Structure 1
Amino acid sequence: MTHHSARREAPEPPTPLPLPVVDNHTHLDIGRDGAAPPDVASAIAAARAVGVDRLVQIGCDLSGARFTTRMIEQYAALLGGVAIHPNEAPRHAAAGDLESAWAEIEALAAHPRIRVIGETGLDYFRTGPEGVAAQQDSFRWHIDLAKRTGKALQIHDRDAHDDVLRILAEEGAPDKTVLHCFSGDVSMARECVERGYYLSFAGTVTFKNARNLRDALAVTPLDRLLVETDAPYLTPVPYRGAGNAPYLIPITVRAMAGTLNVDVPTLCRALSVNSEAVYGPW
């Protein structure tokens, strides 16, 4: 995909939110399109300046999980999540070291500021049929770890809605289950809400072709909503194509408020309360 050079420049900070919110899924260990990862202290400061005062840093491979554990000890604004991403699981299975990777994730998850097991789940877009068994085995293992540790589960679901819901039903979902970067339709949103899951919306909700996603958001109660960047990916309109960062959350929050027909302070309060209900106090 070709991007115009203007889009490579960092977007201007949006108008600050009236009340603080949480970016409940970001990757401060990853740079976009070969760029260096962000400076963590600067990313936190830029987010705080626009009302994003708490972040959940997600490490989704072993190096990312180790990074996350280091960062949560240095920065009070960060809590962490660790897992073997569904696209990583088949690679570990092929190398014969998936169980040792799980063991390291479980050891890191014992840290009191690691509050999330994730992102785990299924991805049938980037991994073909040959990787499905390893992904599903890994997903089941992470669900069990979340339940054993009492931590929240964050789910990556790409082109795998039916199997994600089926496996969660078969295994029994943890008390706190989050569909990260929710990508389902209205019927899936209603099913997830009925089951007591939280739905986290990213910058994709601002995309012009995302009407189905906005319809799903519109039927999600305020007490089931979370917001995220998934930075450095999924940058909201009008900056789609540039690198994403936690300080751009206000754009997504305001778009969500418009879809939900609620005022921005009301949504901010709900997002903050829900985040602490899922992850605990920072």
Structure 2
Amino acid sequence: MPSNAEAPPPPTPLRVPVADSHTHLDMQSGTVEEGLAKAASVGVTTVVQVGCDVKGSRWAAQTALDHEAVHATVALHPNEAPRIVHGDPGGGRSRQGARQPGGDGALDEALAEIDRLAALVQVKGVGETGLDYFRTGPEGKAAQERSFRAHIEIAKRHGKALVIHDRDAHADVLRVLKEEGAPERTVFHCYSGDATMAEICARAGYYMSFAGNMTFKNAQPLRDALAVAPLELVLVETDAPFLTPAPYRGRPNAPYLIPVTVRAMAAVRGLDEDALATAISANTARAFDF
């Protein structure tokens, strides 16, 4: 997204407050306080700040400690695990230009820190974890799956929600969840499957969180999935600063734009927006135990 793109205007506030179930405040412009105030002004009174690596997970936990309206999740993103194993945990080079030490030991060390953070009271989930076959090739699959299985165990041991990143990996994500035994509360962040997969998730009791991409013209499969997902398993998110909903696609996303997606979701479901917001609010609190 262009860094100089103009932020979309604030939408009409929701009458029933909801939570943004997945956002990245550390990647957004402005201060945390400004972002939270702008969100609250349109009825988005709670956000779940998601960690994607050790540094970001520490930041999420601290930000949740500092702000009552923020809850944290902690994890190594699926694409982070292969970078750590193959000796490049930052996804780049150190300041001296040398590769960072890697291997399974480095991944174990990173997972141990995620485990420590997951025990904190302000940390409500373990994620985003899962599998991503779009950005990581076959050589990274083993590290991704090992990391995913470890995150499932951490979530279950600490009684936290599991937040799943699933990109081009539906069958393997579902397989690993079945093999390991999914935590009691499992959330498919930025749900990307079709209606058939939504029915599988529904039978398993998995939450499905829909983002701004469900408003895109080419996203009919997502709308079909939303149409069949049980209302009690539906969440909403921004994944900000990414996936800005239409008609603002390509401009910076932030939690204050949640009402745009909520209204698009209500139209798909044929529901009054207040009824959908009420359900989403209850679902998010139940999914993340806040």
Identity %: 58
Q: Partner of 1:46 in structure 2?
A: 38
- Picking from 247, 250, 268, the partner of 2:256 is 247
- Picking from 6, 10, 13, the partner of 1:16 is 13
Q: Partner of 2:66 in structure 1?
A: 74
Query: CA separation in 2, counterparts of 1:38 and 1:274?
Result: 29
1:235–1:244 Cα contact (<8 Å) kept: yes
Q: Partner of 2:192 in structure 1?
A: 183
Instruction: Quote the offset at 1:4 in angstroms.
Output: 10
1:80–1:113 Cα contact (<8 Å) kept: yes
1:30–1:38 Cα contact (<8 Å) kept: no
Instruction: Quote the offset at 1:194 in angstroms.
Output: 0.5
Q: Partner of 1:256 in structure 2?
A: 265
Q: TM-score, normalised by structure 2?
A: 0.92
Equivalent runs, 1:1-282 vs 2, <5 Å: 8-31=5-28, 37-94=29-86, 95-96=102-103, 97-281=106-290
Q: Which consecutive residues of structure 1, in runs of 5 or more, have no partner in the other structure?
A: 32-36
Instruction: Quote the offset at 1:109 in angstroms.
Output: 1.1
Instruction: Quote the offset at 1:274 in angstroms.
Output: 0.5
1:57–1:78 Cα contact (<8 Å) kept: yes
Instruction: Quote the offset at 1:73 in angstroms.
Output: 1.2
Instruction: Quote the offset at 1:30 in angstroms.
Output: 1.3
Provide Cα deviations, 1:117-156, integer angstroms capped at 9, x if missing partner. Answer: 0000000000000000000000000001111000000000
Instruction: Quote the offset at 1:110 in angstroms.
Output: 1.2
Q: Which amino acid aligns with 1:45?
A: A
2:118–2:155 Cα contact (<8 Å) kept: no
Q: Which runs of 4+ in 1 moved over 2 A?
A: none
2:266–2:273 Cα contact (<8 Å) kept: yes
Provide Cα deviations, 1:214-261, integer angstroms capped at 9, x if missing partner. Answer: 001000111000000000000000110011000000000000000000
Q: Which consecutive residues of structure 2, in runs of 5 or more, have no partner in the other structure?
A: 87-101
Query: CA separation in 2, counterparts of 1:196 and 1:38?
Result: 37
Q: Which amino acid aligns with 2:37?
A: A
Instruction: Quote the offset at 1:191 in angstroms.
Output: 0.3
Structure 1 counterpart SS, 2:243: coil
Calculate the aligned-residue CA RMSD, in Å: 1.1
Structure 2 counterpart SS, 1:278: helix
Q: Which amino acid aligns with 1:12?
A: P
CA gap of 1:265–1:125, structure 2 versus 1, over 3 A, is same
Q: Which amino acid aligns with 1:165?
A: L
Structure 1 counterpart SS, 2:72: strand
Count of aligned residue pairs for this structure pair = 273
Query: CA separation in 2, counterparts of 1:38 and 1:195?
Result: 39
1:29–1:38 Cα contact (<8 Å) kept: no
Q: Which amino acid aligns with 1:99?
A: D
